[in-house]
Structure 1
Amino acid sequence: MATTTTGRTRPAVAPSPTYRSQPGGEASGFAARVSLGRMFAPVPSEFLLIASTALILTGFGLVMVLSATMATAVAKGDSPFEVVMKQAAFAIIGVPLMFLASRLPLTFWKKIAWPALVGATLFQLLVFVPGLGVTNDGNQNWIQIAGFQAQPSEFLKLTLALWLGYVLYRKQTLLGLWRHVFIPVVPVGALVIGTVMAGHDLGTAMILMVILLGCLFFSGVKLRLFVIPLLLVVGAAAVFAVTSPNRMARIMSFLDTDSLSCYDTSCYQPLHGVWGLANGGVFGLGLGNSREKYGWLPAQSNDYIFAILGEELGLIGCLVVLLLFTLFAVGAFHVIRKTRDPFVRIVAGGITVWVVGQALLNIAVVLRLAPVLGVPLPFMSQGGTSLLSVLLACGVLLSFARTLPQRGVPAQGVRQVGAAAGTDRGR
């Protein structure tokens, strides 16, 4: 209360509603204004780099899917745009979801880690339900409902990275002890990967193993503890390969120096992939002018789309795609390097080794530097589920990029700025 010259008392001036404090000491009004302002605030360069490369690769992929499928579609009497329109539908859904996911806070990704992994695992188990599961080339890793086909294991990649990030983040102070590194990471990871291997999909299982190793590496686990899971992963992959005659045939054909001896069997597709790249030369035959897509290359729009790219756009087109994946990796690794949150570092590391590692593995298969494993080229191969999962993973990376400390602004800017404003008013 203040006293006037007449001796009366009058109430003190009420504080502005904008600066009214909460019991916790934060200025809710000011924090809300800052939060709304962030919608129009400049985004970090990492955000722009990841988002732009993802969009360009997705658009590039739609063009190549159209080029790779239109000839066979016309030969069947279908519309030349039938396949690409299905792929475009997933892109139309996935791109907005990517930017929607980029607006979600870290607390959301931490809370959803366990439910997402459980849900994705149950979704994967649907491939074993009679009438729903679909077998393709010996792999039972798809489901089909009312004419709609999906590959549930693609969502396991993102949810496993989120779950590993959350568990290892909660155990940061205990990762020097082997039992805390192995439990529950190894049992749960083995269960998740086992659901994929039960459908005989070694390629996807290997990508999940790489994600597990990547998350362990970026969690800061000591090298002596990291080597043991690495050996377990290598041993498991070797056992899965040896116990399958089909996989062993592909591995032996890769090691065979006389590839023409197995031309009619396991070498057919790898040889035509290399011949497609050779036909392209430096400048390519021109967009739409591939010869291998006319029934010579069976997987021309999914696992071997890089061969069609090289044939039509040549070495220059291949280098452009490699450059785009390099820029994506640079943006993602900047998020890993700059973040102060272990959860962000671990999950971003797992997503990065998944997307970049899968791209390199797919290209290595096309170049005959690795045996055929059946993994698609991220963003570009035909497959709506694969495209949707990769775009959602990019949305998670973009969400993480928003939390990076900027010049003159601390990390987690909204809450800290609001708290600082409340502190200043109390002085």
Structure 2
Amino acid sequence: MMMQTKVVSDKFIFMTALVLVAFGVIMVYSASSVLAAEKFGDHRYFLIRQGLWALVGLAAMLAAIKLDYRFYQKLWIVYLILFICVGLLVAVLFAPSVNNAHRWLRWRFVSFQPAEAAKLGLIIFLASYLSRRISDGLENFWRTFAPCAAVAGSMMVLIAVEPDLGMAMGMGCIMLVAFFVAGVPWRHQALMALGALPGLYYLLFHVSWRLERLLIFIDPWRDPQGRGFQSIQSMVAIGSGGLFGTGFAQGRQKLFYLPEPHTDFIFAQMGEELGLVGLVLIVIAFAIFLWRGVRVSLRAPDAFGALLGVNITMAIVGQALFNMSVTLGLAPVKGMPLPLISYGGSALLMTLIEIGILLNIAHQAREYVD
């Protein structure tokens, strides 16, 4: 009994999150200090903002730990969350554009990315809806698959219009994981994939810059000073780090060679300053999070907790793997942060809330076992 209680408590997830957040704040400072001094006249600009968001996020995580995760299963809560998420996704389309995209809601010095909230909203909806359908069977297409596809599809379309195709595809992956874990028949999932193909084909091959991005992924040297610049400089940064790196804050790629060294390409900056050893330690940290997250989900008291836990775990780890893959040249360049580490307040806040929910599942599982 003591061994089982220890398994589901779960201090590993809590400590891993704290370590990654603290490490992320430090690395954000290292990667952004030169840019911050040049752009804002204060080398601590990004450090202060990330530190404040980290404090807010940790407070939100502690609050989520104390709230019984089954609260999110209530239908009125699910509908309220969906209403808020869809409302924010619509509102952001009318917000001022940044780099020709409508992804941020801004108020004074605070900005928020609604897609991050929508991701958690979709996870909660899928876990709630599918867990209710499990007892009645998941074979019925119209009662099981269609409602989930309609909700997820609506969110994905709104996000793709921003445009943010990468986040939209990520939410599609979240739905597939939820279907797989819940046991939705493969034929339903195949229908969804077939239905999405025409849209993906159009978005990839009839939007010139997306097609160019795909071609650059295959061969970044076809445009080394243009679209291939990020991938090439990322690989240069990692290669320059060697085994042990150049030392903290000693990297050269952040001197306006590597674009976005504190956000999407912070993994490359870590590779330069901390070397292969540092990168391996980060990968191990996410592997521990994956291991413990899956164990917590398997020991959840009910189907809702299991689906909620595994989807939160896979969403965080999957995003981390994709970010690392982009940095290493194994995936097309896409603006997707490294969870808990990259600069970005709304992403950090929502990720910590998700971890808080996961930790509450662990707490409820411990009481269930006891």
Say yes or no: does 1:295 pair with 2:295: no
Shift in alpha-carbon separation, 1:265–1:332, aligned structure 2, 3 A: same
**Which of the residues 148, 152, 155 maps onto 2:114?**
152
Shift, 1:46, TM fit = 4.9
User: What do the CA deviations read for 1:59-78 (whole angstroms, capped 9, x no partner)?
Assistant: 11101100001012223362
Separation of aligned partners in 1, 2:197 and 2:341: 28
Say yes or no: does 1:167 pair with 2:129: yes
* Structure 2: runs of 5+ lacking an equivalent: none
The alignment of Structure 1 onto Structure 2 pairs a total of residues equal to 363
The corresponding residue for 1:124 is 89
TM superposition score normalised by structure 2: 0.93
Shift, 1:353, TM fit = 1.8
| 1:184 aligned counterpart, secondary structure | helix
The corresponding residue for 1:211 is 174
Shift in alpha-carbon separation, 1:43–1:290, aligned structure 2, 3 A: same
Separation of aligned partners in 2, 1:50 and 1:181: 32
Separation of aligned partners in 2, 1:58 and 1:46: 20
Larger deviation, residues 102-111 vs 79-88: 102-111
Shift, 1:225, TM fit = 2.7
Say yes or no: does 1:114 pair with 2:79: yes
- 8 Å contact 1:134–1:143 — kept in the other structure? no
**Which of the residues 267, 270, 274 maps onto 1:313?**
274
The corresponding residue for 2:163 is 200
**Which of the residues 120, 142, 153 maps onto 2:104?**
142
- 8 Å contact 1:139–1:200 — kept in the other structure? yes
Shift, 1:234, TM fit = 5.4
Separation of aligned partners in 1, 2:168 and 2:302: 28
Separation of aligned partners in 1, 2:199 and 2:40: 45
Amino acid of the residue matched to residue 190 of structure 2?
A: V
Larger deviation, residues 152-161 vs 174-183: 174-183
Separation of aligned partners in 1, 2:124 and 2:155: 13
Separation of aligned partners in 2, 1:234 and 1:46: 42
- 8 Å contact 1:127–1:134 — kept in the other structure? no
Separation of aligned partners in 1, 2:151 and 2:59: 31
The corresponding residue for 1:254 is 217
Separation of aligned partners in 2, 1:146 and 1:321: 34
Amino acid of the residue matched to residue 93 of structure 2?
A: F
Q: Percent identity?
A: 30
Shift in alpha-carbon separation, 1:233–1:289, aligned structure 2, 3 A: farther
Matches within 5 A, 1:18-417: 45-76=8-39, 78-111=41-74, 112-129=77-94, 132-136=95-99, 138-172=100-134, 173-233=136-196, 236-256=199-219, 259-404=220-365, 406=366, 410-411=368-369
CA RMSD in angstroms, aligned pairs only = 1.7
Shift in alpha-carbon separation, 1:338–1:105, aligned structure 2, 3 A: same
User: What do the CA deviations read for 1:197-233 (whole angstroms, capped 9, x no partner)?
Assistant: 1111011111111111111111121233333334445
Separation of aligned partners in 2, 1:98 and 1:209: 25
Structure 1 stretches of 4+ moved >3 Å: 42-46, 230-239
- 8 Å contact 1:46–1:334 — kept in the other structure? no
Separation of aligned partners in 2, 1:231 and 1:115: 31
Separation of aligned partners in 2, 1:93 and 1:158: 17
User: What do the CA deviations read for 1:273-317 (whole angstroms, capped 9, x no partner)?
Assistant: 000000001100000011110111121111100000000000001
User: What do the CA deviations read for 1:215-254 (whole angstroms, capped 9, x no partner)?
Assistant: 1111121233333334445554443222321111110011
Separation of aligned partners in 2, 1:339 and 1:199: 36
TM superposition score normalised by structure 1: 0.81
- Structure having greater relative contact order (Cα 8 Å, sep ≥ 6): 2
